[in-house]
Amino acid sequence: MNEHSSATPQGASLPPASPPSGAEFGVSEQVFTVLVATVAALFGARARIAATSSTTLHAPALETALIQQWAMEGRRQIYFSHKVR
């Protein structure tokens, strides 16, 4: 048996795989383009996106998150304004 045997005969090539689209992952094409660019920049061109999931922040959750950010920034400014003795 040949160690280098493959499913395709020698000289034959497989058709190129079609690139994935945002519809396959349930996101818009614009969002998918940004995801692909981000993954490529962080992990390299050979990285692949296996799945996506979406979360939705409702108005009360978003408001709470923004208030927490403001509070943290205010504390940070106060702490860094004091001189250490």
pTM for the whole structure: 0.41
Nearest-angstrom CA–CA distance, 83 and 35? 43
Q: Is the dihedral of CA 62, 64, 67, 69 positive or negative?
A: negative
Residue type, 24: E
Tens digit of pLDDT for each residue in 40-85? 999 998 888 887 776 666 667 778 888 889 899 999 988 888 877 6
Q: Tell me the C-alpha to C-alpha distance, in Å, between residue 62 and each of 15, 66, 67, 76.
A: 46, 6, 9, 21
Tens digit of pLDDT for each residue in 18-48? 667 777 777 788 888 888 888 899 999 888 8
Report yes or no: 29 and 22 within 8 Å, Cβ to Cβ.
yes
